[in-house]
Chain A
Amino acid sequence: MSGTASVKTFFLSRKDVVCILILAVVIMVVFPLAFDNFRLNLVGKYITYAFVAVGLVMCWGDAGILSLGQGIFFGIGGYAMAMFLKLEASSPENTKIQSTPGIPDFMDWNQLTALPWFWQPFHSFTFTVFAVVAVPALLALVIGLAMFKRRVGGTYFAIITQAFAAILTILIIGQQGYTGGVNGMTDLRTLMGWDIRTDHAKYVLYFISCLLLIGCVVFAYWVRASKLGRILVAMRDKEDRVRFSGYDVADFKVFVFCLAAAFAAIGGAMFTLQVGFMSPSFVGIIPSIEFVILCAVGGRTSVLGAVYGALLVNFAKTTLSESFPQLWLLGLGALFIAVVVLFPDGLAGLYRTWIDPRIDRLLGRAKPEITGSIPPAELTETTR
Chain B
Amino acid sequence: MFSDYSLGDLGSILAMQGFAGLILFSVFVLMALGLAIIFGQMGVINMAHGEFMILGAYVTYLCSELFTNYLPALYNGYFPVAIVAAFCASGALGLLVEWVLIRHLYRRPLDTLLATWGLSLILQQVYRSIFGAREVGVELPDWMLGSTHLTDTIEVPINGIIVMCITTAITVAVYLLIFRSGWGKRVRAVMSNRTMAGAVGIDTERVDRMTFGIGCGIAGIAGSAFTMVGSTSPTAGQLYIVDTFLVVVFGGAQSLLGTIASAFTISQAQSTLEFFTSGSNAKVLTLLTVVAILMVRPQGLFTVKVRR
Contact B283 A170 (CB under 8 A): yes
Q: Is A116 an interface residue (CB 8 A)?
A: no
Contacts of A289 in B (CB 8 A): 114, 117
Supposing A333-B119, A340-B115, A341-B104 touch, asked if A156 and B109 sit within 8 A by C-beta, the answer is: no
Q: Is A166 an interface residue (CB 8 A)?
A: yes
A160-173 toward B: CB 8 Å interface, digit per residue (1/0)?
A: 10111011001101
Considering the chains assembled together, what is the distance between the CA atoms of A108 and B256 in angstroms?
A: 50
Supposing A147-B295, A173-B280, A341-B105 touch, asked if A333 and B113 sit within 8 A by C-beta, the answer is: no
Contact B121 A332 (CB under 8 A): yes
User: How distant is A56 from chain B, measured CB to nearest CB, in Å?
Assistant: 12
Contact A337 B118 (CB under 8 A): yes
Contact B249 A166 (CB under 8 A): no
Contact A166 B125 (CB under 8 A): no
Q: Which of A66, A163, A285, A381 contacts B113 (CB 8 A)?
A: A66
Contact B280 A336 (CB under 8 A): no
Contact A383 B109 (CB under 8 A): yes
Contact B114 A154 (CB under 8 A): no
Q: Is A215 an interface residue (CB 8 A)?
A: no
User: How distant is B305 from chain A, measured CB to nearest CB, in Å?
Assistant: 17
Contact B118 A333 (CB under 8 A): yes
Output the nearest chain B residue to A147 by Cβ-Cβ distance. B295
A336-356 toward B: CB 8 Å interface, digit per residue (1/0)?
A: 110111001000000000000
Considering the chains assembled together, what is the distance between the CA atoms of A154 and B280 in angstroms?
A: 29
Q: Is B110 an interface residue (CB 8 A)?
A: yes
Supposing A329-B122, A333-B122, A341-B101 touch, asked if A159 and B280 sit within 8 A by C-beta, the answer is: no
Contact A336 B117 (CB under 8 A): yes
Query: Which residues of B in the span 151-201 have a Cβ within 8 Å of any Cβ on A?
Result: none
Q: Which of B122, B129, B278 contacts A174 (CB 8 A)?
A: B278
Q: Is B294 an interface residue (CB 8 A)?
A: yes
Q: Is B242 an interface residue (CB 8 A)?
A: yes
Contacts of B113 in A (CB 8 A): 66, 68, 155, 158
User: How distant is A227 from chain B, measured CB to nearest CB, in Å?
Assistant: 26
Q: Is B45 an interface residue (CB 8 A)?
A: yes
Considering the chains assembled together, what is the distance between the CA atoms of A166 and B105 in angstroms?
A: 27
- The A contact surface, by secondary structure, is helix
Query: Which residues of B in the span 27-74 have a Cβ within 8 Å of any Cβ on A?
Result: 43, 45
Contacts of A63 in B (CB 8 A): none
Contacts of B120 in A (CB 8 A): 333
Contact B108 A379 (CB under 8 A): yes
Contacts of B107 in A (CB 8 A): 381
Supposing A167-B284, A336-B117 touch, asked if A146 and B295 sit within 8 A by C-beta, the answer is: yes
Query: Which residues of B in the span 69-120 have a Cβ within 8 Å of any Cβ on A?
Result: 101, 104-105, 107-111, 113-115, 117-120
Contact A163 B105 (CB under 8 A): no
Contacts of A160 in B (CB 8 A): 249, 291, 294-295
Output the nearest chain B residue to A143 by Cβ-Cβ distance. B295
Considering the chains assembled together, what is the distance between the CA atoms of A150 and B298 in angstroms?
A: 8
Output the nearest chain A residue to B294 by Cβ-Cβ distance. A160
Q: Which of A292, A334, A379 contacts B122 (CB 8 A)?
A: A334
Contact A326 B118 (CB under 8 A): no
Considering the chains assembled together, what is the distance between the CA atoms of A293 and B281 in angstroms?
A: 31
Supposing A170-B283, A289-B117, A326-B125 touch, asked if A159 and B298 sit within 8 A by C-beta, the answer is: no
Contact B284 A170 (CB under 8 A): yes
Interface centre among A154, A326, A335, A341 (most CB of B within 10 A): A341
Instruction: List 30 A-B residue pairs with CB atoms under 8 Å apart, sorted by A's residue number.
Output: A147-B298, A152-B295, A155-B110, A156-B298, A158-B45, A159-B245, A162-B245, A163-B287, A163-B290, A164-B291, A167-B288, A170-B280, A174-B281, A174-B284, A285-B238, A289-B117, A326-B125, A326-B129, A330-B125, A330-B126, A332-B118, A333-B118, A333-B122, A334-B118, A336-B118, A340-B105, A341-B101, A341-B104, A341-B115, A344-B111
User: Residues of A with Cβ closer than 8 Å to B?
Assistant: 66, 68, 146-147, 150-152, 154-156, 158-160, 162-164, 166-167, 170-171, 173-174, 285, 289, 292-293, 296, 326, 329-330, 332-337, 339-341, 344, 379-381, 383
